Amino acid sequence: MAYCQHIGVEFMFINDLEQCQWIRQKFETPGVMQFTNEEKRTLLARLVRSTRFEEFLQRKWSSEKRFGLEGCEVLIPALKTIIDKSSENGVDYVIMGMPHRGRLNVLANVIRKELEQIFCQFDSKLEAADEGSGDVKYHLGMYHRRINRVTDRNITLSLVANPSHLEAADPVVMGKTKAEQFYCGDTEGKKVMSILLHGDAAFAGQGIVYETFHLSDLPSYTTHGTVHVVVNNQIGFTTDPRMARSSPYPTDVARVVNAPIFHVNSDDPEAVMYVCKVAAEWRSTFHKDVVVDLVCYRRNGHNEMDEPMFTQPLMYKQIRKQKPVLQKYAELLVSQGVVNQPEYEEEISKYDKICEEAFARSKDEKILHIKHWLDSPWPGFFTLDGQPRSMSCPSTGLAEDVLTHIGNVASSVPVENFTIHGGLSRILKTRGELVKNRTVDWALAEYMAFGSLLKEGIHIRLSGQDVERGTFSHRHHVLHDQNVDKKTCIPMNHLWPNQAPYTVCNSSLSEYGVLGFELGFAMASPNALVLWEAQFGDFHNTAQCIIDQFICPGQAKWVRQNGIVLLLPHGMEGMGPEHSSARPERFLQMCNDDPDVLPDLTEANFDISQLYDCNWVVVNCSTPGNFFHVLRRQILLPFRKPLIIFTPKSLLRHPEARTSFDEMLPGTHFQRVIPEDGPAAQNPGNVKRLLFCTGKVYYDLTRERKARDMVEQVAITRIEQLSPFPFDLLLQEVQKYPEAELAWCQEEHKNQGYYDYVKPRLRTTISRAKPVWYAGRDPAAAPATGNKKTHLTELQRLLDTAFDLDAFKKFS
């Protein structure tokens, strides 16, 4: 512990002597906290803006929630000091994340959002947004490029939009920062950095904080240091410098993540400014995380409508006796002769006038434009008014020589003197045989989709637990030399002379943090395919916050398109209640289409229009070729939507799960629906039952149909794209078989899977002319049984129902 006045430092758990000595020199050298009069006047002006902004809002909208900064007004000069020092050290892009407390003040006085755009948000008469459903004002983000007045250098500031879930934006900010560093070739974090703001309770209590910190030292995730600023609502009005350490909570976090923590009393603005300079310098010197703990207090309750005296009467009696920090610091500077009272009052009047003039202009705003709050613009991707440049998608097929070339690289070791495992040699040999036979399995289809996009200049990033090898040992995108430790080869990066780079990285054992990180990475550019693969599909539920608050509603809330892809292994394989279901019912429930309204099927480019209007795309491919096409379509579309893919397990090696090159050549596309193409389709009038299904169960159904010799009586149609729902193609299928009963078949339990989503939409497709029957497992609490025999019994029961032509007569 080293002390200056009102400063406490925790660093003894750092085991690097150079770093420890550096910290000691910064805080134990006598007279280090010296500021020029100009610096003091700048600090005062920043405090004036921070304080008077909150007071202005309170005067104009006293009954509105705004989550003001009262009690920690010093946050604004603190952030500006970090940015100034970082700009001086060469940083030209700062990406920030923060909770709602003080957000409007940060937008106004750090990011420099136009005040009238902030003030108009308080107008209850403001009309609905130009697009999307919007969000409350203290969740919105912003992107702004301006001149830093202290360094006279250009700097870009981005504040990422966030939900009310405290700390949820942390990994998103880190991922966006990593992407911006990647795209500008900033391999050491000298040009792009991140600042994360925290509340003290959330900083200590939210596990996502730890997950985010733990990404900071992983090679494919590090952003080379983040400055963390804790707005600590503990005991900032103490005059005892030893108490500047505040509560132990932030210290505990910093110790675990091996980062120094600088505690500073927020009632001493100059101490705050010095600590922030040191924090920025630490980050630029060592490229590691650092924590600034602003020990302050909250003058109001949780929000302006809350009465803190209900639960903390003694504390708030003390707080209400405290003189505001602006008043204290102004009195200090007047006593030092740095400013005089008229100059101080003029500074206040000047900013009050700015606010009043902006308030007057705000009354002219009639519509809330969410696009004015966009935190990640994509210049050049859309038209000037933000629309797609077309509403069509080219063929996703490839020339055969391209397929063959990628297949040959995928089945070889493209570097010399590299010894691979014998078992892997057999896998590569099998791949080579597939290529010779003009056929792909699942792993090869993925390889060809990725490889072709790399050829077209599209960066690909695949992240998750064990993705390099693949959970099911099918991918092997990183080869390991069996004789030289840590010598690796990524064949995907040896495909073409001028290809885009391929990043494949095993993540930490985290879903929440890593999925948030990849979402942030995908925010930075539309010209990248960013994929997160769950080790098993059900593991996505520990990242549910990112899915529910960012991925599903992100465009509606924040006008932020995002093309992230989730690969979720799914399938009932008799392996128990865990690792069976990726919970498709949850994703389908959150789709924004109306099950009771049949869209206009005659609309030009109907399938593309559906994709443009949806909040995300949900698919379950039954063939490797369709998986190949949907991955390529994700980039070739003229807009971006999240893509949820339920990926297979047993189909990875299923002998029938193969696709010919013929289905991947120029002119071919992703098939939203794969219709029956066997004997039943040749004589549709004789078909008694039309089964609809998706994914792996198709292979169980075709095997059973053949065993029962019912290939002419039962047609099977696969729905590959579940959402947006392919009304047009399914209507054609139903009309093709006029005498057939309709049934939905799934291997999941009735209250899970796809049934509740598909049934009402199928009924709408046919104007409710026929019932849609169900063949599948009964409702259950768990996704799957833990008993193998029971699993097989359940499977046979659903197959019996599917092919018993009398099964539904008792319900008719």
- Output the domain CATH number for residue 51: 3.40.50.970
Angle, helices 249-257/207-215, rounded to nearest 10 degrees: 30
Predicted structure pTM score: 0.94
**Domain for residue 597, yes or no?**
no
pLDDT in tens, 648-666: 999 999 999 999 999 999 9
Closest residue by Cα to residue 527 from 636, 631, 618? 636
Tens-place pLDDT, residues 726-764: 999 999 999 999 999 999 999 999 999 999 999 999 999
Residues 698 and 738 in one domain: yes
* pLDDT for the residue 545: 95
Single out the residue of 90, 85, 88, 87 nearest to residue 190, CA to CA. Answer: 90
pLDDT higher than threshold 50 for residue 214: yes
Look at residue 251 in the predicted model and tell me its pLDDT.
55
Q: What is the pLDDT of residue 137?
A: 66
Looking at residue 126, what DSSP letter applies? P
| 115 and 139 co-located in one domain | yes
pLDDT digits over 658-713, tens only? Answer: 999 999 999 999 999 999 999 999 999 999 999 999 999 999 999 999 999 999 99
Token pair 């092919």: residue: 803
Is 383 within the bounds of a domain?
no
Instruction: Give the mean pLDDT of the chain.
Output: 91
Burial of residue 811 (CB within 10 Å: 0-12, 13-18, 19+) is exposed
Q: Check whether 317 has a pLDDT greater than 70.
A: yes
Same domain for 682 and 656, yes or no, is: no
What tokens does 687 get? 């078909």
- In this structure, the dihedral spanned by the alpha carbons of residues 361, 366, 367 and 373, taken in order and rounded to 10 degrees, is 10
What is the extent of the structural domain holding 321?
Answer: 7-373
- The set of residues, in sequence order, having a beta carbon less than 8 Å from that of 640 and lying 6+ positions away, is 526, 561, 562, 563
Q: Which of 331, 358, 373 is the last residue of a domain?
A: 373
| In a domain? residue 607 | no
Would you say residue 5 has pLDDT above 70? Answer: no
Instruction: Answer yes or no: do 695 and 653 share one domain.
Output: no
Biggest alpha carbon distance in the chain?
A: 100
CATH classification at residue 521:
3.40.50.12470
Q: Give yes or no for residue 307 having a pLDDT over 90.
A: no
pLDDT digits (tens, 9 = 90+) for 32-47: 888 999 999 999 999 9
pLDDT digits (tens, 9 = 90+) for 104-161: 999 999 999 889 888 888 877 766 665 666 667 667 778 888 989 899 999 999 999 8
pLDDT(254) > 80: no
Shared-domain flag, residues 644 and 701: no
CB atoms within 10 A of CB 58: 15
CA distance 508 to 463: 10
For residue 558, tell me if it sits in a domain: yes
pLDDT tier, 1 (very low <50, low <70, confident <90, very high otherwise): very low
Whether 368 is in a domain gets the answer: yes
What is the reported pLDDT for 253?
62
Does residue 242 surpass a pLDDT of 50?
no
Confidence check: pLDDT of 319 > 70? yes
Same domain, 456 and 322: no
Residues 643 and 565: beta-carbon distance below 8 Å: yes
Domain endpoint, select from 632, 663, 694? 663
Tens digit of pLDDT for each residue in 366-404?
Answer: 776 666 667 777 888 988 877 899 999 999 999 999 999
| Ramachandran category for residue 512: left, alpha or beta (phi over 0 → left; psi -120 to 50 → alpha) | alpha
Give the pLDDT confidence of 530-554 residue by residue, as tens digits: 999 999 989 999 999 999 999 999 9
Are 658 and 524 in a shared domain?
yes
Residue 362's alpha-carbon distances to 108, 117, 123, 159, 751, in angstroms, are 14, 7, 9, 22, 50
Residue 409 above 80 pLDDT?
A: yes
User: Residue 207's closest CA among 151, 178, 167?
Assistant: 167
- Residue-wise pLDDT for 601-616, tens only, equals 999 999 999 999 999 9
Cα distance between residue 275 and residue 260, in whole Å = 12
Res. 514: pLDDT tops 60: yes
Q: Does 70 map to a domain? A: yes
Do residues 93 and 143 both lie within one domain?
yes
Do 681 and 654 lie in a common domain?
no
Residue 385: C-alpha distances to residues 114, 117, 295, 369, 805 (Å): 20, 19, 45, 12, 56
Does 2 fall in a domain? no
Alpha-carbon distance of 524 to 507, in angstroms, equals 20
Average pLDDT over residues 316-325: 87
Does residue 687 belong to any structural domain of this protein? yes
Q: What is the DSSP string of 49-80?
A: HHHHHHHHHHHH-TTS-----TT-TTHHHHHH
Contact 752, 585 (CB under 8 A): yes
* Whole-number pLDDT of residue 65: 80
Task: Name the token pair of 655.
Answer: 């002998």
Q: Are residues 287 and 148 in the same domain?
A: yes
Rg (CA), the chain: 30
Q: Taking the mean position of all CA atoms in its chain, how far away is CA 804?
A: 46
- Given a cut of 60, is residue 250 above it in pLDDT? no
From 443, 489, 527, 545, select the one nearest 206 (Cα to Cα): 545
Number of folded domains that form the chain: 3
Sheet of strand 714-719: strand arrangement: 673-674, 714-719, 689-693, 741-749, 772-777
In this prediction, residues 207-215 reach a mean pLDDT of 92
Nearest partner of 278 among 257, 288, 292, judged by Cα: 292
What's the whole-number mean pLDDT along residues 77-85?
97
Phi, psi at 804, each rounded to 5°: -85, 105
| pLDDT tens profile 577-605 | 999 999 999 999 999 999 999 999 999 99
Residues 657 and 705 in one domain: no
- Helix, strand, coil in percent for the chain, rounding step 5: 45, 15, 40
For residue 613, what pLDDT is reported? 94
651 and 688, same domain (yes or no): no
pLDDT at residue 2 in the model: 45
